[in-house]
């Protein structure tokens, strides 16, 4: 099953007296590989994704190209991912899954909450690196019998299209997976969505590992 995850998080970069030290820290961050490759433990920075960010990973993570201005994904194995998305377009829900692309809504949290094929928890306030946002869990449910997902290779009725990226590829949520979303409405003036996902049966085990990465995110000067 092809599952692309949405998303993104933000952290305020320390300035002022910490300016010189901050520059040294940025210099330590390595660029993500352009090809799919295992990541050595350490700090990495975005090259294409804007707003720019850095984060730290431990063992077991790999890059998941291609990084673009509106998407960055890293993976743990084949089914566990963390994604950063700056959504410009979304798939408006239809009864058949036929692609119907519209501009991304201003109220992204509300859009997810009102989506007819997503079950969402009540949003809770969360702060990621000093940037306030809303967090909630999501699963796919109640898809019509003849629903055809917009994600190439996902198959009929296996998921629901969420975002269309600048690369032309969709972000789709699979029925067998669980997602935790964090929507941040003002990361350097942009709305960004961070998410991590895994098969629902493995989510509770994976969530702490994903959170360790999220807790290290820093926003950088572009």
Per-residue pLDDT for the chain (222 aa), expressed as one digit of tens each? 334 443 332 222 222 233 334 444 445 889 998 889 999 999 999 999 999 899 999 999 999 878 999 999 999 999 999 999 999 999 999 888 788 899 999 999 999 999 999 999 999 999 877 789 999 999 999 888 777 765 544 444 467 889 999 988 888 898 899 999 999 988 989 999 999 999 999 999 999 999 999 999 998 765
Task: Specify the 3-state DSSP secondary structure of 201.
Answer: helix
Q: Which residues contact 215 (CB under 8 A, 6 or more apart)?
A: none
Residue with tokens 């961070």: 194
- 8/28 Cα distance (integer angstroms): 22
Report CA dihedral (178, 182, 183, 189) to the nearest 10 degrees.
-140
- 81/9 Cα distance (integer angstroms): 14
> What are the tokens at 47?
């090259």
HSE toward the beta carbon, residue 186, CA cutoff 13 A: 4
Q: pTM of this prediction?
A: 0.83
Domains of the chain: 60-219 (3.40.1000)
Q: Which residues contact 173 (CB under 8 A, 6 or more apart)?
A: 3, 118, 138, 140, 159, 160, 162, 179, 197
């Amino acid at each position: 099953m092809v599952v692309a995850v949405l998303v993104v998080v933000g952290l305020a970069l320390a300035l002022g007296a910490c300016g010189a030290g901050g520059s040294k820290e940025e210099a330590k961050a390595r660029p993500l590989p352009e090809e799919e490759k295992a990541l050595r433990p350490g700090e990495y920075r975005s090259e294409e994704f804007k707003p720019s960010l850095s984060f730290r990973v431990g063992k077991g993570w790999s890059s998941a190209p291609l990084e673009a201005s509106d998407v960055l994904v890293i993976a743990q194995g084949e089914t566990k991912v963390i994604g950063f998305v700056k959504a410009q377009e979304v798939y408006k829900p239809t009864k058949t899954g036929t692609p119907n692309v519209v501009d991304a809504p201003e109220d992204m949290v509300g859009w997810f909450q009102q989506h007819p094929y997503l079950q969402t928890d009540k949003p809770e306030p969360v702060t990621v690196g000093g940037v306030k946002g809303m967090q909630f869990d999501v699963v796919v449910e109640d898809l019509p019998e003849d629903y055809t997902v917009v994600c190439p290779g996902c198959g009929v009725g296996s998921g629901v299209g969420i975002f269309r990226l600048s690369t032309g590829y969709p972000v789709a949520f699979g029925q067998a997976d669980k997602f935790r979303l964090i929507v941040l409405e003002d990361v350097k003036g942009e709305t960004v969505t961070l998410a991590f996902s895994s098969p629902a049966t493995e989510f509770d085990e994976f969530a702490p590992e994903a959170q360790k990465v999220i807790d290290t995110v820093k926003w950088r000067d572009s």
